Every structure is written in structure tokens, then in C-alpha cells.
Amino acid sequence: MSDTFDETTAVDEAAPIQEARHWEDETWIAQVIKNEDDDGWAVSMTLRGEAEPALIGPWTMGRDKKNPKPLDAPAFHTLVKTAHEVRRRHEQQLQARLHRQVSIATEAGAFVVTLDIVPDDDEPYATLAARDADGQEVARKRVDAGFRLTADSAAAWLARELA
């Protein structure tokens, strides 16, 4: 066995796999799999380093109507775009679920009240905060993660805080 470094071996080991049922790049891994629910095929797109696929969808049958159509570069790039969009929508949905905002007008002026939920497994909580029209924070309080933010609850909370 040689102790010398072989650059061609290092390059080959780092080369992405591009096979008929398995295709990958530096970021994504596509894998054509047998669909257990029927006679068809599915494709999964997994972000490198993550355990769960970001996308699983039906895959086209080949000409023999028995085997899957092989993966190729254009199909892989389309799958990457779709998987990226699914992840982006999921992140937006999560952000919308964890962040709420209402605008209120009081005798003291106009305010924007936000509720930011911290989904801790052991002790979830939320932070309630109010900003004035200039964007300056005027109040902040830690509340229960189940706090219901409405214009009325925000106005009542802010009235107590500013009193």
C-alpha cells in the first residue's frame, strides 16, 4: 500500500453520483424509489445532512411501463427547484405560525404589537412586544405560548404596561 496521495482518486471520490435512480449534487440527493402504495415509482429529494426528504412525489414510468424513467440533469434541476420551493413555503408557514402582529390605535398613539412564539419542547413561551409609530420598543413581556393576540388583547395589555 502506498502512502502517496493520488489526486485522481480524491477527485473521483468527491464526484457527485449521477445514475438512473440516484442523482446528487453538493446540496441535494434525488432517489427514485418503488411506491409501496401502488405499482408505480416515486422520487424523493433530500437536502444533504437531513434525515427526512424535503419532497416525495410520483415519478414517471419508463417506456416499458414497468421500470422508472431514468433521472437526468434536466429532471434533477426541476426537482431541485421544486424541493427548494417546498422548503421555502414550509419555512414561511412556520414563520407565520410563530409570529403574529396587530396594529392598534390608542389615546397614546399608534402601535404595532407582535407575538413571537419560541417552540421549546420543554417550556414553550412567547414574547409580546409593542413598538410605537417611530419603531421604538415601548413594552415587552414574556407570556404563555398559547396567548391569543387580538387587537383587543393587545390594547388591554398595552394600556396596563403604559399606565
The 8-class DSSP code of residue 115 comes to E
Would you state the pLDDT for residue 13?
55
Would you state the pLDDT for residue 141?
95
- For the chain, what are the domain ranges? 7-71, 98-162
Would you state the pLDDT for residue 95?
87
- Calpha distance 162→158 (Å, rounded): 6
pTM of the model: 0.64
- Calpha distance 142→146 (Å, rounded): 12
Buried b (16+ CB within 10 A) or exposed e, 1-34: eeeeeeeeeeeeeeeeeeeebebbeeebbbbbee
The answer on pLDDT for 4 being more than 90 is: no
Taking the CA of residue 77 as centre, how many other CA atoms within 13 Å lie in the half-sphere pointing to its CB? Answer: 2
The pLDDT confidence band at residue 37, using thresholds 50, 70 and 90, is: confident
Among 129, 121, 67, CA closest to 104: 129
Each residue of 63-118: pLDDT tens digit?
888 889 999 999 999 999 999 999 999 999 988 889 999 999 988 899 999 999 99
The 8-class DSSP code of residue 5 comes to -
Residue 62: phi and psi, rounded to 5, are -75, -175
